[in-house]
Structure 1
Amino acid sequence: MTDRFIDRMARLDDLDALHRVMSRSIAQLQTEFLTPEQVTASHRVMGLDSLLVRDGTYFLVECGDRIAGCGGWSFRETLYGGDESIIAREPSIVDPSSGAAKIRAMYTDPDFTRRGIGRRILKLCEQAARSAGYRRAELMATAVGVPLYESCGYTPKTKLQFAQVGGVQVPLLRMEKML
């Protein structure tokens, strides 16, 4: 039997379920790439910016009654970080003629990895950003996300950076792609 995946825009009543998926994803999928301390610190750096849901730019993919994955794009300046992260967010709007759409908060439930969920969400985000007039997209990749983004045509924009959380460095890579 083949799983049936359905994508849709996230709604505010999805927030609790989205937070659970993100928490599981960070806790389980980062372990091959980060130390236990870095995984713990990642929960303070990553997460969902609920403004993405309010802006109507956040997608999820469902399989039955479960969220298999989620991710979005933004027309705002903020590159990464969620409602409860330590990262400062900048809600000002990016001009599509000169700036880049931001790919944000991409997560796959650990039970649904290696089934094209991330690639599917990324394609939805890129199509929506292109339709909104953006010619370029950028993102801040976690170590686990870099292989997906590279396979989808993203290239590093800067050298590896580190978010500092209580003396722990969480590696991040800023990447971009022409749409």
Structure 2
Amino acid sequence: MSFDSADFKHYARTVVDYFGLADIAIRAADKADFARLAEIQVAALCASGRDLYGPVKIKRFVERHLRQTLALCRTPNFYVAETHAGVVGCGGWTRVRSGDNEVPCAVSFYVDPEHQRRGIGRSLLTLTETSARKSGIAWLTAFPPLHGADMFRATGYAASDVVPFDLGDDYSLDLLVMRKRLVG
């Protein structure tokens, strides 16, 4: 089960209204959004993680992560937030293979640095959790970089482990494993 078109549009509007974002619209991402999402991801990582990770780690992370973003743009559970100026944020959920299992994960939450701290990321996460819940998912996992864990922590995700994400050539980036129960 997932959102039908009318249900999605109504709920997306309700979420952004709740967070006081009258000038924001949330919609499903598509392949045409990819170039802008790449810009947003690079800008967001450079703005908040430059001092922590350095340019080489950011470049390698983006190179690996953008393949996932392109694939996500073809799925029904990956969203973008738009203003009159265009796409300003993204995030959604997908199933990630972990050994023999598929784990439902909140993925690729990025907001353009010029639009951060306005509730856009939280609106995208709220819509993502609702979509996952409507699809019968009881727990959602997230793997944010250490500097990106605050939004998840503030919305009820609990951290369990730090795992290194291999970037090749002896580089890695630490990700925090976080989980949230979506149903009672």
What's the TM-score once normalised by structure 2's chain length?
Answer: 0.77
Contact 1:164 1:170 in 2 (8 A): yes
Contact 2:146 2:175 in 1 (8 A): yes
Q: Secondary structure of the residue that 1:42 maps to in structure 2?
A: helix
Which of 116, 119, 126 is matched with 1:116 structurally?
A: 119
Which of 28, 31, 38 is matched with 2:50 structurally?
A: 31
More helix by proportion, 1 or 2? 2
Q: Does 1:18 align with 2:34?
A: no
Aligned partner of 2:170 in structure 1 is: 167
Contact 1:27 1:40 in 2 (8 A): no
What is the rounded CA distance, in whole Å, between the counterparts of 1:128 and 1:93 in structure 2?
20
Q: Which moved more, 1:146-155 or 1:24-33?
A: 24-33
> Cα deviations across residues 60-105 of structure 1 (Å, max 9, x unaligned)?
111113211101101x2247xxxxxxxxxx9x984xxxxx421111
Q: What letter corresponds to residue 104 of structure 1 in structure 2?
A: V
Q: CA deviation at 1:165?
A: 2.9
Q: What letter corresponds to residue 56 of structure 1 in structure 2?
A: P
Contact 1:3 1:63 in 2 (8 A): no
Alpha-carbon RMSD: 2.4
Identity %: 24
Which of 106, 110, 117 is matched with 1:103 structurally?
A: 106
What is the rounded CA distance, in whole Å, between the counterparts of 1:3 and 1:22 in structure 2?
24
- Where structure 1 has 5 or more consecutive residues not aligned to the other structure, the ranges are 80-89, 95-99
Corresponding pairs, count: 161
Which of 73, 81, 94 is matched with 1:53 structurally?
A: 73
- Where structure 2 has 5 or more consecutive residues not aligned to the other structure, the ranges are 1-20
Q: Secondary structure of the residue that 2:118 maps to in structure 1?
A: coil
What's the TM-score once normalised by structure 1's chain length?
Answer: 0.79
What is the rounded CA distance, in whole Å, between the counterparts of 2:32 and 2:63 in structure 1?
23
